[in-house]
Chains A and B, each alone.
Chain A
Amino acid sequence: MKTFQGKTLSWRIADGVIELTLDHAPCNEIGLAMLADLEQFVAALGTLKDEAHALIIFSARSEGFCAGGDLRELFRLSQEVTGAERLSGLRNFIERIHRVMNALDEAPFTTIAAVNGLTFGGGFELALTCDLIIADKMARFCFPELRLGLIPGFGGIPRLKRDLGNAVVRDLILTGRSINAAKAQSAGIVSQVAAEGDSLRVARETAAQLKKFDRNTALAAKRFIKQIPYEELRREIDIFCELFMRPAVEKGLRKFVESKDALPYLP
């Protein structure tokens, strides 16, 4: 398959570069629909790998790359069930997300997240699966989960820990503050900062550079450099599910859902 059009995203492959475009209003929130499309995408990686040397993930939304998990959907679904059923439903969703994130992390070619605007929570976690993050200078990164009584649940902490010093991880997770692209670059999260509106062009230039190298050598280098912290990722699922079942989280999610603000969890 050379092109795909899903409900929340699309992809196409041209000249050895797969471009995965997220386009789900308001800001690419990851819920069941986005998850199903991402699952289709990772299922196609096996066939795409023979033609591709790079993948670029970017957003068609001016608001940002991805605002994270679809908390409104999560709250609604969690209200439809109780107790053990709620926990098993949540765990199933999180396990599916982790399978997708791990597949992207392991992708057999170099992956680039070209991010703009909001790159929050699950969106930040999606970007962290990529080998390179190229950020629009107006991009903003944040893990706001603690404000809701949660930790990031889509693999964020283990992947941050893989890439950054522990003090930076603590700063981002424990304060829940947002940082701009320049700060993210100085921390080691972002590889290049692009001018406003220019991250996709820079990502395409970078993907063109990658084509100069032997594909198998690039893959061997990637696998040597970038280990996947499976054990910590499993532990994260357990902690996330345990925290989610507390009444404080339900209260936090309700406040979020009932708020009319565009970013109810900030500041």
Chain B
Amino acid sequence: MSSLQSTTEEVLRLAAEHFKVPREQLAPDDDFFKKLGINSLQALDLLTRIEHHFKIELPDYELQGVSDFRTLAERIQLRL
């Protein structure tokens, strides 16, 4: 099972790669809406990529109120 730290790192890498942001500019506690400049439609796209990458199902209502990478990784971790 992956650790929270490695899951967070994977999420940061996925987000950086997809939204074309240098990885080093993203930190676990960043608000991904603000940092990536994305709206909820793009966040849903990220969710789909996360589901594919981690081979999990993550209902969007579990992400209600989640806006930072670390908490997102915690939610993913609960499904691994």
Contacts and interface: CB of A to CB of B under 8 A. Distances in A.
B60 A267 contact: yes
Sorted nearest first, the 10 A-B pairs with minimum C-beta distance are: A262-B41, A262-B39, A267-B60, A263-B40, A177-B59, A267-B64, A267-B61, A180-B48, A262-B40, A261-B40
A266 B60 contact: yes
Interface of B: 39-42, 44-45, 48-49, 51-52, 57, 59-64
B64 A183 contact: no
Contacts of B44: 118, 140, 178, 263, 266
Q: How large is the interface on A (under 10, 10 to 19, 20 to 34, 35 or more residues)?
A: 20 to 34
B39 A137 contact: no
Nearest to A117: B45
Given A140-B44, A179-B57, 8 more contacts: A118-B41, A177-B59, A178-B44, A180-B57, A182-B51, A183-B57, A262-B42, A267-B61
A195 to B, nearest CB: 11
A117 B41 CA distance: 9
A137 B60 CA distance: 17
Nearest to A179: B57
A3 interface: no
Interface string A109-148: 0000000011000000000000000000110100000000
B75 to A, nearest CB: 12
Interface of A: prevailing SS: loop
Contact of A178 (B42, B49, B60): B60
Contacts of A227: none
Interface string A237-267: 0000000000000000000000001111011
A138 B45 CA distance: 7
A266 B59 contact: no
Nearest to B51: A180
Contacts of A63: 41
A138 B57 contact: no
A47 interface: no
A175 interface: yes
Contacts of B40: 261-264, 266
Nearest to B44: A140
Nearest to A64: B41
A137 B53 CA distance: 12
Contact of B52 (A137, A263, A266): A137
Contacts of B52: 137, 180, 182
Nearest to B49: A138
Contacts of A263: 39-41, 44
A140 B41 CA distance: 11
11 contacts: A63-B41, A138-B48, A140-B48, A177-B60, A178-B60, A180-B48, A261-B39, A262-B39, A266-B40, A266-B60, A267-B64
